[in-house]
Amino acid sequence: MENPFTFGKAAFGEQFTDREQDTKRLLANFKHGINTVLISPRRWGKTSLVQKTASLARGRRLKIVTLDAFSCRTAHEFYTLFATEVVKQTAGKWQEWMENAKKFLASLVPKISIGADPVRDFSITFDFSDKKLSVDEVLTLPQRIATEKGFKLVICIDEFQQVAEFDEHLSFQKKLRSVWQLQPDVSYCLYGSKKHILANLFSRQSMPFYKFSDVFFLQKIPTSNWVPFICKRFQATRKKISEKIAEKICDTVENHSSYVQQLAWITWSGTAKTVTPGIFESAVVALLNQNAMLYLRYVEELSAYQLNFLQAIADGVHSEFTKTAILQQYQLGTAANVKRLKEALENKELIDINDKIVAFNDPVFRLWFKDNIKRI
Ligand SMILES: Nc1ncnc2c1ncn2[C@@H]1O[C@H](COP(=O)(O)OP(=O)(O)O)[C@@H](O)[C@H]1O
Ligand SMILES: [Mg+2]
């Protein structure tokens, strides 16, 4: 039997719910060659949405390439991944990958290695001795393939905020933009979680990617959709949950996609036939326990000031941290210090700031923090 719920990897098939408008918007962008930047906090559903849309969009005339920049530490690593995935994912058989690599990357001297299983163990490395030429050759690769083969291409790059970590990242971005904007048959879907970094890259007039794309802030899936989804998944496996408890699952984790699935899963696995309030309560405790190691690690990495700041938010302070009474009560230091605290915690993706309102990014970490971190 298929698992009724999933977390920790992208949701697909029966495990994917809602996002109808989002899918429509992204699909239209894919089909019409409009660049997209998709932003949301971690684990709300970006990767799932892009994969689902890609599966709907793929066809003879439209190819979708997906790659994940998460592990790229340098521009060189990025170019290598980019070239490898474009070559691989635009070809049907591995023999065709080889042909493509030779044909389209001729002056790059690709070194191709194939393992025991050519479908999985296939890698290309490049000799970057003539850097300038090579970079252009990699970045123009999608358009050259699209022209030759007569299809359109969408290149989806996950965890794109990673590029802001590269050395000389501004000139890197300028390079990408200058080449990418000249590609009539290729569009890009760039997505990731560090909102402040990504919004900076794409919404600031002074930045290379200004006005490059449709900037799309993904929202949470509403309770009105989660509840029937949860009830149906229980039913499909001959178990029962009331709408009221399904709603409580959503409320407890503030509709955070991954946690809705995780809490539903724990509740489901603790249930023989019908969920009772007691089973649900134990599931919440188990959810906190299962994540406690992770939260301990978050806390260990924080300074005393940062902990104090989180304490204030946990107590319900969401703005005006620089008021004298708040600065004193939570020992936050100076107003300048508050600014630094916000930046640091936002960078660690522990808080999210919307219209100057500061909140925990992770609703279950917030619950755990309230229960486990001693008040000052
Ligand atoms: N449309 C969806 N329907 C059901 N569950 C979802 C959906 N989107 C996300 N999830 C849940 O959230 C988790 C994280 O999703 P993911 O797409 O990896 O998020 P992100 O890429 O934003 O970090 C998934 O493992 C799944 O449990
Ligand atoms: Mg993701």
Q: Residue 172 Cα, ligand 2 centroid: separation in angstroms? A: 23
- Atom 25 of ligand 1: nearest residue by CA position: 7
Our mutation pick for probing the ligand 1 site, out of 229, 232, 257, 349, counting the most ligand atoms within 8 A of Cβ, is 257
pLDDT, residue 135, reads 86
Q: Domain boundaries in the chain?
A: 19-217, 223-297, 301-372
Single pTM value for the model: 0.92
Among all bound ligands, the one having the nearest atom to the CA of 8 is 1
- Atom 8 of ligand 1: nearest residue by CA position: 45
Among all bound ligands, the one having the nearest atom to the CA of 222 is 1
Looking at the CA of residue 191, tell me the nearest atom of ligand 1. 21
Structure confidence by residue, pLDDT tens digits, 315-373? 999 999 999 999 999 999 999 999 999 999 999 999 999 889 999 999 999 999 999 98
Distance of alpha carbon 121 from alpha carbon 114, whole angstroms: 6
- Over pLDDT 70: what percentage of the chain? 92
Among all bound ligands, the one having the nearest atom to the CA of 257 is 1
Q: Residue 325 Cα, ligand 2 centroid: separation in angstroms? A: 40
Structure confidence by residue, pLDDT tens digits, 40-86? 999 999 999 999 999 999 999 999 999 999 999 999 889 988 988 99
Q: Residue 256 Cα, ligand 1 centroid: separation in angstroms? A: 9
Checking if the pLDDT of 127 tops 90, the result is no
Distance of alpha carbon 133 from alpha carbon 337, whole angstroms: 46
User: According to CATH, what is the number of the domain 301-372?
Assistant: 1.10.10.10
Our mutation pick for probing the ligand 1 site, out of 195, 258, 291, counting the most ligand atoms within 8 A of Cβ, is 258
Q: Residue 23 Cα, ligand 1 centroid: separation in angstroms? A: 14
HEC profile of the chain:
CCCCCCCCCCCCHHHCCCCHHHHHHHHHHHHHCCCEEEECCCCCCHHHHHHHHHHHHCCCCEEEEEEEHHHCCCHHHHHHHHHHHHHHHCCCCHHHHHHHHHHHCHHHCEEEEECCCCCCCEEEEECCCCHHHHHHHHHHHHHHHHHHHCCEEEEEEECHHHHHHCCCHHHHHHHHHHHHCCCCCEEEEEEECCHHHHHHHHHCCCCCCCCCCEEEECCCCCHHHHHHHHHHHHHHCCCECCHHHHHHHHHHCCCCHHHHHHHHHHHHHCCCCECCHHHHHHHHHHHHHHHHHHHHHHHHCCCHHHHHHHHHHHCCCCCCCCCHHHHHHCCCCCHHHHHHHHHHHHHCCCEEEECCEEEECCHHHHHHHHHHCCCC
Give the dihedral of Cα atoms 347, 349, 350, 353; nearest 10 deg.
Answer: 80
Q: Residue 159 Cα, ligand 2 centroid: separation in angstroms? A: 7
Structure confidence by residue, pLDDT tens digits, 265-314? 999 999 999 999 999 999 999 999 999 999 999 999 999 999 999 999 99
Structure confidence by residue, pLDDT tens digits, 351-360? 999 889 999 9
Looking at the CA of residue 52, tell me the nearest atom of ligand 1. 1
Structure confidence by residue, pLDDT tens digits, 190-246? 999 988 888 888 888 889 899 899 999 999 999 999 999 999 999 999 999 999 999
| Fold of the domain spanning 223-297 | Helicase, Ruva Protein; domain 3 (1.10.8)
Q: Residue 84 Cα, ligand 1 centroid: separation in angstroms? A: 26
pLDDT, residue 106, reads 72
Looking at the CA of residue 48, tell me the nearest atom of ligand 1. 17
Average pLDDT, the chain: 91
The superfamily CATH assigns to domain 19-217 is: P-loop containing nucleotide triphosphate hydrolases (3.40.50.300)
- Atom 9 of ligand 1: nearest residue by CA position: 45
Ligand 1 site, CB within 6 A: 6-11, 15-19, 40, 42-48, 257-258, 261
Among all bound ligands, the one having the nearest atom to the CA of 262 is 1
Q: Residue 52 Cα, ligand 1 centroid: separation in angstroms? A: 11
Weakest mean pLDDT among 168-172, 185-189, 307-311: 168-172
Q: Residue 264 Cα, ligand 2 centroid: separation in angstroms? A: 20
Q: Residue 30 Cα, ligand 1 centroid: separation in angstroms? A: 20
Could you tell me the pLDDT band of residue 120, with boundaries at 50, 70 and 90? low
Among all bound ligands, the one having the nearest atom to the CA of 45 is 1
- Atom 23 of ligand 1: nearest residue by CA position: 43
Looking at the CA of residue 261, tell me the nearest atom of ligand 1. 27
- Atom 14 of ligand 1: nearest residue by CA position: 43
